[in-house]
C-alpha cells in the first residue's frame, strides 16, 4: 500500500510539469507559425524547380539514347545540374537591389534551376541547342552566345534560358531553366578559372587575368583544331 501511494503522488506531481512543457511547445509553434509556412512554401517552390531540371535532363537523356540507337556520334558528353541555395538566391536579389521575396525570386531570377551540358565539339553545342528548342513544350526565353562573343575574361559558353511546363496534380507552372552548353575544353577552363577567381580572398592581379585570357585563347584554338581533325577523319570513312 505504501509503495502504491508513493507512485500515485509522484505521478500527480509530474502532471503540471508535463502540461507546462506541452504548453511551451504550442506557444513556440504559434510564435513561429509564419516561419513554418514560409519554409513549407519555399520547399514547394524548390520542388517545382527540381522537377523542371529533371524534365530537361530527361529530354537530354532521350536524345542521347536516340543517337546510340542510330549508332551516330553522341553530341553530349555529360550533363550536370544544380539548384541555387537559399543563400545564393538572397545574395543575388540583394545585389540587384530587388526585394528578397518568393515573388521577386520567381519573377526576376532565371538561373535558380541550372543545367550544364558538356559536348565534345563546338558544333555539337549548336546541334544540341536546336534539338532542344524545336521541341514544342520548350520555349526559348533568352540566348547569350559567349562562344561567338567571349567575355573579357576569355570565358566561352552558350547560355540559354528556356521555359518548360511542370504539371502538378492541380496546377501547371512554366518554369525557367538556365542551360549552359560548352565543350570539354571550355568546361575545364571555366571550372579552374572560377576556382582561382572566386575562391581567393585577394583581388586577382592583372597579370594573372592576362594569363587566364591567353589560356582561354589557347583552349579555343585547340577546340577548333580537334574539330577539324574529327571532320577530316569522318571524311576518310
- Count CA within 13 A, CB hemisphere, residue 188: 12
Sheet-wide strand order for 78-83: 78-83, 113-119, 172-183, 158-167, 139-145
For the record, the C-alpha cell of 228 comes out as: 577539324
Count the neighbouring beta carbons within 10 Å of the beta carbon of residue 191: 10
75 close to 128: Cβ distance less than 8 angstroms: yes
Determine which one of 163, 178, 217, 227 is catalytic.
178
104 close to 59: Cβ distance less than 8 angstroms: no
178 is catalytic: yes
The DSSP line for 76-108 is: --EEEEEE--HHHHHHHHHHTT---SHHHHHHH
For the record, the C-alpha cell of 236 comes out as: 576518310
Residues that are catalytic:
178
Amino acid at each position: 500500500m505504501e509503495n502504491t501511494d508513493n507512485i500515485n503522488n509522484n505521478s500527480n506531481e509530474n502532471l503540471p510539469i508535463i502540461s507546462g512543457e506541452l504548453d511551451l511547445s504550442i506557444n513556440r509553434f504559434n510564435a513561429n507559425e509564419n516561419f513554418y509556412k514560409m519554409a513549407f512554401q519555399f520547399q514547394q517552390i524548390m520542388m517545382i524547380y527540381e522537377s523542371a531540371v529533371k524534365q530537361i535532363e530527361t529530354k537530354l537523356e532521350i536524345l542521347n539514347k536516340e543517337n546510340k540507337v542510330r549508332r551516330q556520334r553522341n553530341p553530349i558528353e555529360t550533363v550536370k545540374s544544380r539548384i541555387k541555395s537559399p543563400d545564393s538566391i538572397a545574395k543575388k536579389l540583394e545585389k540587384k537591389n530587388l526585394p528578397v521575396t518568393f515573388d521577386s525570386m520567381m519573377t526576376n531570377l532565371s538561373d535558380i534551376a541550372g543545367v550544364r551540358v558538356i559536348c565534345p565539339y563546338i558544333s555539337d553545342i549548336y546541334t544540341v541547342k536546336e534539338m532542344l528548342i524545336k521541341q514544342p513544350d520548350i520555349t526559348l526565353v533568352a540566348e547569350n552566345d559567349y562562344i561567338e562573343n567571349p567575355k573579357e575574361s576569355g570565358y566561352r559558353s552558350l547560355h540559354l534560358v528556356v521555359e518548360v511546363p511542370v504539371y502538378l496534380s492541380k496546377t501547371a507552372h512554366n518554369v525557367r531553366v538556365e542551360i549552359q552548353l560548352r565543350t570539354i575544353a571550355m568546361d575545364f577552363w571555366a571550372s579552374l578559372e572560377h576556382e582561382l577567381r572566386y575562391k581567393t580572398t585577394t583581388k586577382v592581379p592583372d597579370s594573372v587575368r592576362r594569363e587566364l585570357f591567353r589560356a582561354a585563347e589557347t583552349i579555343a584554338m585547340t577546340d577548333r583544331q580537334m574539330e577539324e581533325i574529327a571532320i577530316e577523319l569522318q571524311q576518310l570513312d
